[in-house]
């Protein structure tokens, strides 16, 4: 636990989580009205708009003033789309505001994961549009069936407190599931489900505690509403959103640390070890290629070599930057050869490695596991023969 806390503290500064949270806060404040407008518009289509508003007021009773203000602005946005000649342009602007928030969120999560490459832009936009429409529909279905679930639970027990506890647990599990999905699916790299669940649970429990504190503070300064009107909530709301994003991004960092396991693998591995691992990983991928079998997944490479998966990913990104391998994004992340490896030797790989890594000061001849003129395709054969 101490190692995790120490690593979180160190990486909080290195990943500039505070700056990322500030950026997300600004974009969130701009996007919140379009986002609520989309949800409200869809809820009207299902005839659940009134039910949605009532449920939201139940969930955030301490912030009803702010909620009413947001709902009022969202309602005006919807009405303007219905009456305006430029309704098509307005709809595009609203959707783009929400898409922009999702793009910045994905970029921030990839920065925390130290992933430099984002997904294909067209694929990202398609995914975002799907998320914009699917999540509100799921939310509305959950709200619409809430009373039915309550009736079913009440039929099993006459004790009111039992029903309330079960409903709260279900709500908690739904929130944890949503955050788990974000931690697991958003990063453009391999993420274990176990780490995602642990981080999501920690984040949701932390947010529940802070939300109660936020409600207490909001009630304590409610007297300022008489002076500033509905805008009195803006400064406190911005502070709350910033800390919300800090906690969410810290959860991303926790997922990264739990997946890394050794908590600082990049700093513990020297140049010669990096070279050796680079050769082993590439040789394994090449051997698979010459066997005419499906390419290895990242998890399979990690299991085959018995090496931490994040270190394997770091090595694969290095090989990808050198042009030797290419990433295949399916349900699972795979890597296969990018160029014909028939005549590629260890020396060829190490020369490219040293050109890509400006910190490398060692001589190529220091690699002593195999002669430097050994063909990559023969490395795994010799390794198996020696074993």
User: What are the chain's domains?
Assistant: 1-264 (no CATH), 269-385 (1.10.10.10)
**Model-wide pTM > 0.75:** no
Helices and strands (H, E) in the chain, number of each type: 17, 2
What is each CA distance from 330 to 186, 188, 189, 297, 335, in whole angstroms?
Answer: 14, 12, 12, 10, 11
Q: What is the DSSP letter of 342?
A: T
The strand ranges marked E within 64-219 are none
pLDDT, position 159: 53
Q: Which string of DSSP letters, residue by residue, matches 274-339?
A: HHHHHHHHHHHHHHHHHTT-PPPBHHHHHHHHT--HHHHHHHHHHHHHTTSEEEEESSSEEEEESS
Supply the pLDDT for residue 43: 75
> At a CB cut-off of 8 Å and minimum separation 6, what does 201 contact?
176
What lies within 8 Å, CB to CB, of 219 at 6+ separation is 62
Q: Please list the ranges in the chain whose pLDDT falls under 50.
A: 86, 262-267, 358-368
pLDDT of residue 87: 60
- Inter-axis angle of helices 271-290 and 309-321, nearest 10: 80
- 74, 49 in Cβ contact below 8 A? no
Predicted pLDDT of residue 367: 44
pLDDT of residue 309: 79
Q: What is the pLDDT of residue 362?
A: 39
């Amino acid at each position: 636990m101490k190692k995790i806390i120490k690593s979180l503290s160190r990486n909080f500064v290195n990943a500039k989580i505070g700056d990322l949270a500030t950026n997300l806060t600004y974009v969130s404040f701009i996007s919140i009205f379009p986002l609520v407008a989309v949800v409200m518009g869809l809820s009207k289509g299902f005839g659940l708009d009134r039910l949605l508003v009532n449920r939201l007021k139940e969930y955030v009773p301490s912030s009803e003033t702010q909620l009413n203000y947001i709902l009022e602005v969202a309602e005006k946005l919807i009405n303007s789309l219905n009456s305006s000649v430029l309704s098509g342009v307005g709809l595009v602007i609203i959707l783009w505001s929400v898409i922009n928030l999702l793009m910045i969120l994905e970029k921030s999560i990839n920065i925390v994961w130290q992933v430099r490459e984002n997904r294909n832009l067209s694929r990202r936009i398609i995914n975002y549009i799907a998320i914009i429409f699917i999540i509100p529909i799921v939310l509305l279905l959950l709200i619409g069936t809430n009373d039915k679930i309550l009736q079913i639970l009440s039929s099993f027990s006459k004790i009111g407190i039992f029903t309330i506890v079960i409903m709260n647990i279900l709500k908690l599990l739904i929130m944890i599931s949503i955050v788990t999905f974000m931690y697991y699916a958003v990063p453009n790299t391999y993420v274990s489900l176990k780490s995602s669940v642990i981080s999501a649970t920690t984040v949701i429990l932390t947010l529940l505690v802070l939300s109660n504190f936020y409600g207490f503070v909001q009630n304590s300064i409610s007297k300022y509403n008489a002076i500033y009107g509905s805008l009195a909530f803006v400064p406190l709301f911005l502070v709350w959103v910033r800390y919300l994003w800090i906690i969410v991004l810290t959860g991303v960092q926790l997922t990264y640390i739990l997946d890394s396991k050794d908590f600082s693998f990049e700093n513990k591995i020297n140049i010669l070890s990096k070279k050796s691992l680079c050769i082993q990983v590439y040789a394994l991928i090449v051997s698979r290629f010459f066997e005419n079998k499906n390419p290895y997944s990242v998890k399979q490479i990690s299991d085959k070599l018995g090496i931490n998966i994040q270190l394997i990913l770091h090595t694969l990104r290095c090989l990808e930057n050198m042009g030797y391998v290419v990433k295949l994004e399916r349900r699972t992340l795979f890597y296969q050869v990018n160029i014909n490896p028939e005549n590629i030797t260890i020396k060829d790989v190490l020369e490219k490695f040293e050109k890509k890594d400006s910190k490398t000061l060692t001589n190529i001849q220091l690699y002593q596991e195999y002669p430097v003129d050994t063909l990559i395709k023969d490395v795994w054969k010799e390794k198996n023969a020696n074993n």
